[in-house]
Structure 1
């Protein structure tokens, strides 16, 4: 049995002129081909993580990080922090941005966080952790000025069925197909996509 710590980077909040980007890791117990997501109270989770969690604002630091905000491939600025989140201020309303979060090593070298994400999927044998996939960029568009007329937009409503975790074989593939459909919709020309 081994514990794999899967990295995650995500957009935690967004306004017309600010974004909060957060990151961390969550533990997955691996036993042969089987996987189990561990919660904070698992005895194999380090005590500081049991108390404060794995991701974001109150979680213990995963080490120094450099957060860079970009427009296209052009870096606009960066900040270094030991927190697991940062607030990016002074953004332009209704504008596309990208964000990169890198761990900063003692020698000054950096590594992209969540560069090789793995996906959990339920199979006939149980939950498995699939091989590394493509990194998911943290890309977003700030909201328009609150005082401006509301422009046209497309939106997704992401919810929870309330039925618990679907452990049927292949159920993870359904989530992956929804994610691919969302990515395709966002890539199509037209008004920006907003999340509700």
Structure 2
């Protein structure tokens, strides 16, 4: 029996996660993190290894989490009537099917006859005595989502966000934590008031460290992910799905080998992308495509190192993934086909250079498919490169930040850059995509667009516009 929220020794904080949405179904997950009083009187998260002894559980969140009790997920129409429901066995997630395309719904998670996470939320917030602690935050979940258009219907105007290199964690009293929280507040506002339908993660979803508050493996346990993902974005990820790319800090490239397995668990990779083999090539590797109506397809590229095959340097060079990529970029043309990945093809630095392996593997595919826009992270700033009629964008500063001026503008064909924290707001219409980096919120709560500079220090004001006049 797990402790209640009112247990004086252990606090259970419930979470809801809208993992995925399609035109006719939604994947809903739920879970909780557990906290105990530290000797200094503050709350401290219960480490995964201590869960069995302290709260009688093996896991707290993700696809492997065991049940919290008999559960039913209900999806409701705007009028309040239940239109679909599902009751899983021995797990804390479920696909709810039989929904209508392009429709807004409310939903409920009912555990042991009570609405899960219906009370006031306790968040990790600044406190009067200094630093941060777990405390009631005056916020509540607003559980609703909007299904996607039918895959064969014309793609309506769409707004989504992309954010890279965000997972620094926000439990430490540090500028990086405040930076991640600031950009998370932008995401909350865009989802709540500006019709954002989903988020693309451009990789590095969780980092090692956080001033000693995360263990050596960085992202190998659920309690690491509380700080880097579930708490900062808790309101947003209950409303819109996040589609992840693998970063070097999410895998054995830079940190522990268990980081990637934990990411696959918390993002429900097998449940989301292993169902339809034509639309994904995964395990090992993470390649998938997302079709939003008939005219837009997003393609996730895994650019990390292949640690399981000594003869293959990177996952995209493996034969099974190469075949899938050729099929994806050689299939029926879409008006908009937008690849996204962690590592960029072109970057002016300051820490990295153009990626020749990616150029060799991907540029012929992009040319054949008429790709006009490519999104990536990894470099901790904002960059735009125009090469061969194609716009390459680096957006890797939603948590990490490098303010140094890059030196490789000419080699990367850079047209704009900025050393500010931000996320990228993407508006897709029939013949153009508008890109607006957003650095924060104004005093009235409205998003604050971020200006950039050209390599010659001329001001570049948003939005950056990418045109595509080709027929679909």
TM-score grouping bracket, smaller chain normalisation: 0.7 to 0.9
Q: Give 1:85's aligned residue.
A: 93
1:195 aligns with 2:202: no
1:143 aligns with 2:148: yes
Q: Cα 1:158–1:74, aligned 2, differ >3 Å: closer, same or farther? A: farther
Secondary structure class of the residue paired with 2:190? helix
8 Å CA contact 1:69, 1:77 repeated in 2: yes
Q: Give 2:138's aligned residue.
A: 133
Give the TM-score, by structure 1 length.
Answer: 0.77
Relative contact order higher in (CA < 8 Å, ≥ 6 apart): 1
Query: Which stretches in structure 2 are left out of the alignment for 5+ residues?
Result: 1-7, 201-472
Q: How far 1:74 sits from its partner (Å)?
A: 2.6
Q: Give 1:185's aligned residue.
A: 190
Q: Cα 1:154–1:66, aligned 2, differ >3 Å: closer, same or farther? A: same
8 Å CA contact 1:34, 1:126 repeated in 2: no
8 Å CA contact 1:121, 1:173 repeated in 2: no
Q: Give 1:3's aligned residue.
A: 10
1:57 aligns with 2:60: no
Q: Cα 1:151–1:98, aligned 2, differ >3 Å: closer, same or farther? A: same
d(CA) in 2 for partners of 1:17, 1:45: 40
Q: Give 1:120's aligned residue.
A: 124
CA deviation profile, 1:21-51 (whole Å, cap 9, x unmatched): 01111111223641222221136545641xx
Q: Cα 1:170–1:74, aligned 2, differ >3 Å: closer, same or farther? A: farther
d(CA) in 1 for partners of 2:109, 2:137: 18
d(CA) in 1 for partners of 2:116, 2:197: 25
Give the TM-score, by structure 2 length.
Answer: 0.35
Q: How far 1:146 sits from its partner (Å)?
A: 2.2
Q: CA RMSD in A?
A: 3.0
d(CA) in 2 for partners of 1:161, 1:184: 17
Q: Give 2:22's aligned residue.
A: 15
Q: Give 2:36's aligned residue.
A: 29
State the aligned residue count: 187
8 Å CA contact 1:99, 1:137 repeated in 2: no
Q: Cα 1:55–1:145, aligned 2, differ >3 Å: closer, same or farther? A: same
Secondary structure class of the residue paired with 1:42? helix
CA deviation profile, 1:50-95 (whole Å, cap 9, x unmatched): xxx2124321211011211012123213333443111111211211
Q: Cα 1:74–1:173, aligned 2, differ >3 Å: closer, same or farther? A: farther
d(CA) in 2 for partners of 1:161, 1:23: 22
Which is helix-richer, 1 or 2? 2
d(CA) in 2 for partners of 1:103, 1:192: 29
Q: Cα 1:125–1:66, aligned 2, differ >3 Å: closer, same or farther? A: same
